[in-house]
């Protein structure tokens, strides 16, 4: 009798710890803004042009196409995009209608900004000449991302 009860309690404890472990994993991956995976999972709505994170994206000939969207959740669909220096960049920006000030984007270091008022795509073109990390952000610096030039 006593043994059965203990076994039952042990099993319940085991299930709870597994559940807590799963929650911790879930939260740590979606809350980590720096890593691309969490953001990808949240975004869900990936355009044809976005080929994931990390490496230089969408190279077609001598232009690098980058796609960033401001979401109603208060985040960009990509926290980080990487491009090569010396190759022209076409930075395609759009914003969901409910993204508030996320409709305004500023790219530090390139004197570029754009507004996507009704979800339409805006394109900013520039050629990075120096490797480094450049912030892109909304007008109030709440949406934040990093353009990595390598
Ligand atoms: Cu803002």
CA of 95 to the centre of ligand 1 (A): 12
CA of 79 to the centre of ligand 1 (A): 15
Per DSSP, 103 falls in state G
CA of 104 to the centre of ligand 1 (A): 8
CA of 107 to the centre of ligand 1 (A): 13
CA of 140 to the centre of ligand 1 (A): 4
Q: Give the Cβ contact number of residue 76 at 10 Å.
A: 27
Per DSSP, 21 falls in state H
CA of 72 to the centre of ligand 1 (A): 11
pLDDT digit string (tens) for 47-58? 333 334 444 555
CA of 35: how far to CAs of 21, 41, 87, 146, in Å?
20, 11, 25, 11
Q: Which regions of the chain are under pLDDT 70?
A: 1-61
CA of 69 to the centre of ligand 1 (A): 13
Sequential DSSP letters for 33-90: SSSHHHHHHHH----TT---SSSB--EETTEEEEEEEE-TTSSBS-SEEEE-TTS-EE
């Amino acid at each position: 009798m006593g043994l059965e009860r203990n076994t039952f309690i042990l099993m319940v404890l085991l299930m709870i710890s597994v559940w807590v472990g799963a929650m911790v994993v879930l939260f740590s991956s979606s809350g980590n803004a720096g890593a691309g995976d969490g953001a990808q999972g949240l975004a869900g709505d990936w355009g044809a042009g976005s080929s994931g994170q990390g490496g230089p994206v969408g190279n077609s000939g001598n232009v690098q196409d980058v796609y960033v969207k401001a979401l109603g959740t208060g985040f960009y669909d990509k926290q980080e995009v990487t491009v090569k220096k010396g190759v022209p960049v076409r930075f395609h920006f759009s914003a969901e209608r409910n993204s508030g000030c996320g409709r305004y984007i500023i790219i530090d270091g390139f004197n570029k900004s754009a507004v996507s008022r009704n979800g339409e795509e805006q394109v900013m073109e520039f050629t990075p000449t120096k490797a480094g990390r450049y912030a892109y952000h909304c007008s109030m610096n709440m949406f934040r991302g990093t353009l990595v030039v390598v």
